[in-house]
Chain A
């Protein structure tokens, strides 16, 4: 059997302690290993994605124990796609962190970065709910470390809130897991799906509560109103590369919802019927409204972007909460877009900060590299606001199209379309203040000269924008792929079969030798 499926988890998990042990005091070596590791991860992830591209479900039984008794990793189209996305994003973020020197402003950046990636990879690959919890904790605690990287009061204060809010989330997760185990006696997702189906319609409270609590846990990750409060200040205060990496963390929540609520608590299951369709979509729409309004309201660029992240996350959630194959396909397409766009924007805000020392939305004299930064910002804003020619527009079309004919259609359309208008306003306002109005301000004599951002930083941002371009040009292929993913999610026979019917240790006579 091959071990490639676990490589995205093990590679960083070994690399990080190695960096801590061997290269703690040599930033150069750290950078080399970190980058090399991420590149290797991209290659592996690409391999896994190709392996699954034809619909094969790869599984990996840890400790050779068959599901549901042991922990199992599952690589299907969806999870391998997310793994690939993570690896690619990680590379550009890492390059930016190196280019901008962020990784030198505190200890252990690269180790924490690797651990963070490991946590995210694990969350995407695992097929076991409690193991998902463990990986959530891994990626969270690493994210705490990265978020307060390099210290600073504002950042630490935001950090405290970020940690506390997520601790609430972890506690809730454990409540949900307890309820699920108490009700079904299993933790493996596929097995859970099988057992939930057996639940007597006369005693559904247990599983209903469990499924709602679990959904709320993921909703916190996905920053769904009213559980989104942790996001704005923590993303705004976090070091830019870290915030950019966090762009994928909200997606972990969305991924988990898609996975669990199509596989386990799918709309067909009558034990949990009439639960999520009641409030999930309205909540997503409210989040969309709040996110876009926040874009117009923000007084600092980084908070503006943080709100735009809430907004684009909400777009994903709107599409998910329609729970049809079309809408899931649209959501997945949009998810990739929103990850890349958010990351790019956070990095751009750091370019601005490097140029002028702050990101307040006030007119200040133009700075070194402003022209290039401005054009990058223009591109990023277009992407985020969902204007052509970038993928945001196509994603928006897909979501609107998916909502056509549903009972909530009018609401979705009105809020999505007005939402994009409002965010266009917000971005146009911000851009014209930052980059145009600047020309009417004469630089003050005592202004200290800010350094021009490093070339590598620009390359990293440019790379992300280029990826957005590719995501647009090859929209047909990508969307075709996400459509196949959605179909697979709504007919998970292959998944169930691969997970539950693969023998492991002591589950076949041949293994009795022990």
Chain B
């Protein structure tokens, strides 16, 4: 079967359990088992070619530019691990079916399990190391889900997060390592990388790459100092522990070290780091394991210890070491999985895993007793069981390994470790199964149904077979070893046999076994010593670190982002000014090309007023009405300035906009406090002043610099001046630019106005619907109101001049194309006219006489402008292409009728609509806030006395 299927099957199959969850537990387990079985068979179909020493490949391009491709490779090593993953996976699935209780969501469990299985198979079959990284991280994620499967248990959550964090960290480090490796070799394909030992080891980046990759391996395989996550992952359901910690997850790191062995191993760095890490882990794990009372914890630490053992063997960098490592991986997988399952059985039947509460199970659970004992003895390294063989090889290897120039160091530590390892195995057997039968088990223990004991039994059979007849495993292990060595070294000749003669290894293992028994005899006093000794509790430390990290980051980030806008603005301004100054300082200043124009007294006077008003605004800004007046003056001065510097259109616009803005602000100020309190400290004000001064100087400098210099070449406006009449049919170039050359800008701008109006309207609605409404209704206006609500004179005046205003607006609009003016200004003028009606005659009176809703006006405006633009499509021209002709309507002098003018109509409407809708919204708020207005606008304030009967009919139709 193609490798793709083998990898894909678990992932695709992962959907099934989730879907079939309703179909019952057996169905779910069944379908999961079938999926794994298919993958397993698919793997076996490749056995012949693997045995023939070929490398099965499969490739699909994914991101060729990056070098990340879906390339799979199956050689002896990959086959070996895939076999373990899928084979033991099958047993686990069968076991889990009986193990999980009815309240567990089995579909979810098997989905996660298959995802994990797929990821693992992916790792061991990847040829592309980036692809391998992807599967690598996937195992972290899926194991996160598996370990946290029992969501209600805090241990589960913490264990899951710890595993994810530690292995995730390693994974990230490994990303770096792999990328470096790929950059060195120029390819991310293992088949290429593995051929470049010299190139890689000669490269200066070799050591960084090595360290980063080893970080990944050590965290995954729980090597010291990253071993602490593994025991806490035991919070997972036992099938998960059995799977993750015997054959799969924790072996991934080992696998990678074996995979990379040809190119990374053999250097002093590799030897020192890997061997010593392995040794320490091996001893540490063994020692801790002996004193654990929880069966699973004991097994977990023993796993840590054995992983250390294997790592140490790989670290030696010799062919024999590699072979021993491979052999031990096989043996460890078999007996450890069996042990975990037995622990699960005991937990399942006796409802406790605490060794201190067990004992005497030998008679109650004979089957389990046999299985567990054989597996444990094998782990202890007793002859005729497979553990013995690989342990012998390990001890043999250590005698040739010299670390830090002290020949005895490695062997001594190895014996020490195996001694403890033997001790905890014996403890497991004697304290759980031997001794008197007790009457205080949490539940009445008895042997489980076959579903639970068959899988471990099967494994134990393997344990015994290999143990008695090692030669059956020999060719396979050597095949695997060959593909590990990858031609960098010869597969050692050594035969697998039980009796090697009186070699040092034999004495060492005898010493270990005897020592183990002795240690078990003195277990109680030893335990007392152990409990007395202070030990760091990894979980506590880890949680503390995480919490600390969270707190620190909160301290770092939250105060900075606490919503203090004025700080945001200050930081922003400083950054902008600084960056600008840096650009200025690093640039070169050219000579001035323009001469200063003499300042005449009028200009100076205007300047004086502007400056005075601005300064006043700064110093008197606390009085809000006053500051409105002052800003009005500033605006006025600016518009006068525009007149002065030959920009009449600007002047008009600025002026009219000014008026409307002030009205808006007045309406708003009607609600806001009239006075700004003094809040900022002197220090703050100093800070702000300095920022302000800096910014001011910057703006001044820029403006002054540019005004004295010409542009690099003639500005594009030359073209506009030259073609305004010819192409745009208007002599007022500014207006032609607005409606023709750059009409699209204007189009965007009226849309902005329209949106502004819609927004204000929508917000008003929201406010008047919400709690604000009540607040408005019972709000007392804080200003003494004019006794005369609608001054007669003003009312009359406004109504008389309204037609005039409209005429003026019309005129301004028409002349706009040739003289200063245009739809924009016209619109503003007209709206001011209408606003006057509002102010004079009151909201209800005016809006009662308003024929069209402002929404419509805005919409119409924007649509007209848009459609005018589209109109030009029908003559095959782009959007907004203009055309024009000349007509004459008395009493106006001749003017031309341009499509641009039609566009200008849109502008006009949009402006009127937008301005009016905004003002209307404001005044609607105001209306809610005051007493209902009268329909008789010319009378005196009804809220004072009885109102004399009079009506505003005289002025009907003024609008």
In contact, A388 and B175 (Cβ under 8 angstroms): no
Interface-lining segment among A59-67, A83-91, A334-342? A59-67
In contact, B705 and A205 (Cβ under 8 angstroms): yes
Closest 8 CB pairs of A and B: A203-B590, A185-B715, A185-B711, A151-B766, A205-B587, A229-B568, A182-B706, A145-B759
Q: Could you give, for residues 284-295 of chain A, a 1 whenever the CB lies within 8 Å of some chain B CB and a 0 otherwise?
A: 000000100110
| Interfacial chain B residues near A394, Cβ < 8 Å | 63, 66, 68
Chain B residues with a Cβ under 8 A of chain A: 61-66, 68, 130, 133-135, 137-138, 141, 144, 148, 151-152, 154, 157, 160-161, 164-165, 168-169, 172-173, 175-176, 179-180, 183, 546, 549-550, 553-554, 556-558, 560-561, 563, 565, 568-569, 571-573, 575-576, 579-580, 582-584, 586-591, 699, 702, 705-707, 709, 711-717, 719-720, 723, 726-727, 740-745, 747-749, 751-752, 754-756, 758-759, 761-763, 765-767, 770, 855-856, 858-860, 862-863, 866-867, 869-870, 872-873, 876-882
Is A43 among interface residues, defined by CB-CB distance under 8 A? no
In contact, A134 and B856 (Cβ under 8 angstroms): no
Q: Given A209-B587, A421-B168, A436-B157, does the pair A191, B748 have CB atoms closer than 8 Å?
A: no
- Name the CB-closest residue of A to B723: A506
In contact, A206 and B705 (Cβ under 8 angstroms): yes
CA distance A122 to B748 in the complex (A): 9
In contact, A514 and B726 (Cβ under 8 angstroms): yes
Q: Could you give, for residues 115-131 of chain A, a 1 whenever the CB lies within 8 Å of some chain B CB and a 0 otherwise?
A: 10010001000000011
A207 CB to nearest B CB, Å: 8
| Interfacial chain B residues near A202, Cβ < 8 Å | 588, 590
Q: Could you give, for residues 155-199 of chain A, a 1 whenever the CB lies within 8 Å of some chain B CB and a 0 otherwise?
A: 001101100110010001001001101111111100100010011
| Interfacial chain B residues near A232, Cβ < 8 Å | 561
| Interfacial chain B residues near A160, Cβ < 8 Å | 565
In contact, A183 and B711 (Cβ under 8 angstroms): yes
In contact, A20 and B741 (Cβ under 8 angstroms): no
In contact, B712 and A432 (Cβ under 8 angstroms): no
Q: Given A17-B858, A505-B881, does the pair A209, B766 have CB atoms closer than 8 Å?
A: no
In contact, A185 and B712 (Cβ under 8 angstroms): yes
In contact, B713 and A393 (Cβ under 8 angstroms): no
CA distance A269 to B179 in the complex (A): 32
Mark out the residues of chain A between 408 and 433 whose CB falls within 8 Å of any chain B CB in the assembled complex: 413, 417-418, 420-422, 424-425, 428-429, 432
CA distance A158 to B549 in the complex (A): 28
| Interfacial chain A residues near B713, Cβ < 8 Å | 184-185, 195, 198
A27 CB to nearest B CB, Å: 14
Is A382 among interface residues, defined by CB-CB distance under 8 A? yes
In contact, A213 and B580 (Cβ under 8 angstroms): yes
In contact, B860 and A21 (Cβ under 8 angstroms): yes
Most buried by B among A3, A63, A181, A396: A63
CA distance A142 to B168 in the complex (A): 42
- Name the CB-closest residue of B to A199: B712
Interface CB pairs A-B, < 8 A, 23: A3-B878, A10-B869, A10-B870, A16-B862, A20-B858, A21-B859, A63-B744, A70-B742, A138-B755, A142-B755, A184-B712, A200-B590, A229-B561, A279-B579, A293-B553, A293-B557, A294-B561, A421-B168, A425-B549, A432-B160, A506-B726, A506-B727, A514-B726
- Name the CB-closest residue of B to A417: B172
In contact, A151 and B763 (Cβ under 8 angstroms): yes
| Interfacial chain A residues near B133, Cβ < 8 Å | 388
CA distance A25 to B169 in the complex (A): 55
Is A397 among interface residues, defined by CB-CB distance under 8 A? yes
In contact, B175 and A397 (Cβ under 8 angstroms): yes
| Interfacial chain B residues near A122, Cβ < 8 Å | 748
Interface-lining segment among A45-53, A251-259, A476-484? A476-484
The total of interchain contacts (Cβ-Cβ below 8 angstroms) comes to 363
In contact, A161 and B568 (Cβ under 8 angstroms): yes
In contact, B66 and A175 (Cβ under 8 angstroms): no
Q: Could you give, for residues 72-115 of chain A, a 1 whenever the CB lies within 8 Å of some chain B CB and a 0 otherwise?
A: 00000000000000000000000000000000001110011001
In contact, A206 and B709 (Cβ under 8 angstroms): yes
| Interfacial chain A residues near B546, Cβ < 8 Å | 425, 429
In contact, B579 and A212 (Cβ under 8 angstroms): yes
- Name the CB-closest residue of B to A151: B766
In contact, A297 and B556 (Cβ under 8 angstroms): yes
Instruction: Please give the number of chain A residues whose Cβ is less than 8 angstroms from any Cβ of chain B in the complex.
Output: 138
| Interfacial chain A residues near B747, Cβ < 8 Å | 13
Is A211 among interface residues, defined by CB-CB distance under 8 A? yes
| Interfacial chain A residues near B766, Cβ < 8 Å | 106-107, 148, 150-151
- Name the CB-closest residue of B to A12: B751
In contact, A389 and B179 (Cβ under 8 angstroms): no
A369 CB to nearest B CB, Å: 16
Which of B134, B172, B180, B751 contacts A389 (CB under 8 A)?
A: B134
In contact, B712 and A198 (Cβ under 8 angstroms): yes
Which of B164, B554, B762 contacts A107 (CB under 8 A)?
A: B762
- Name the CB-closest residue of A to B869: A10
In contact, A63 and B589 (Cβ under 8 angstroms): no
CA distance A428 to B716 in the complex (A): 57
B658 CB to nearest A CB, Å: 18
- Name the CB-closest residue of A to B546: A425
In contact, B705 and A138 (Cβ under 8 angstroms): no
In contact, B711 and A184 (Cβ under 8 angstroms): yes
CA distance A480 to B61 in the complex (A): 12
- Name the CB-closest residue of B to A191: B716
Is A475 among interface residues, defined by CB-CB distance under 8 A? yes
In contact, A164 and B565 (Cβ under 8 angstroms): yes
| Interfacial chain B residues near A353, Cβ < 8 Å | none
In contact, B65 and A429 (Cβ under 8 angstroms): no
A68 CB to nearest B CB, Å: 5
Q: Given A62-B878, A138-B752, A229-B572, does the pair A108, B62 have CB atoms closer than 8 Å?
A: no
* Extra pairs beyond A112-B759, A181-B715 (4, CB < 8 Å): A107-B762, A145-B759, A179-B706, A388-B137
Is A400 among interface residues, defined by CB-CB distance under 8 A? yes
Q: Given A112-B759, A436-B148, does the pair A428, B571 have CB atoms closer than 8 Å?
A: no
A283 CB to nearest B CB, Å: 9
| Interfacial chain A residues near B740, Cβ < 8 Å | 63, 65
| Interfacial chain B residues near A118, Cβ < 8 Å | 751
Mark out the residues of chain A between 267 and 306 whose CB falls within 8 Å of any chain B CB in the assembled complex: 274-275, 278-279, 290, 293-294, 296-297, 299
| Interfacial chain A residues near B723, Cβ < 8 Å | 69, 506
B699 CB to nearest A CB, Å: 7
Is A137 among interface residues, defined by CB-CB distance under 8 A? yes
Is A141 among interface residues, defined by CB-CB distance under 8 A? yes
CA distance A101 to B790 in the complex (A): 45
- Name the CB-closest residue of B to A213: B580
Is A230 among interface residues, defined by CB-CB distance under 8 A? yes
CA distance A209 to B575 in the complex (A): 13
Is A448 among interface residues, defined by CB-CB distance under 8 A? no
In contact, B741 and A69 (Cβ under 8 angstroms): yes
Which of A61, A131, A424 contacts B745 (CB under 8 A)?
A: A131
Q: Given A62-B879, A404-B179, does the pair A182, B711 have CB atoms closer than 8 Å?
A: yes
In contact, B152 and A439 (Cβ under 8 angstroms): yes
B672 CB to nearest A CB, Å: 13
CA distance A437 to B160 in the complex (A): 13
| Interfacial chain A residues near B765, Cβ < 8 Å | 106-107
A50 CB to nearest B CB, Å: 22
Q: Given A115-B751, A401-B179, does the pair A145, B68 have CB atoms closer than 8 Å?
A: no
In contact, A296 and B571 (Cβ under 8 angstroms): no
| Interfacial chain B residues near A459, Cβ < 8 Å | none
In contact, B878 and A63 (Cβ under 8 angstroms): yes
Which of A187, A205, A382, A421 contacts B588 (CB under 8 A)?
A: A205
A491 CB to nearest B CB, Å: 18
In contact, A69 and B719 (Cβ under 8 angstroms): yes
CA distance A14 to B869 in the complex (A): 11
CA distance A149 to B130 in the complex (A): 45
In contact, A63 and B175 (Cβ under 8 angstroms): no
CA distance A184 to B719 in the complex (A): 15
| Interfacial chain B residues near A149, Cβ < 8 Å | 762
CA distance A3 to B740 in the complex (A): 18
- Name the CB-closest residue of B to A396: B175
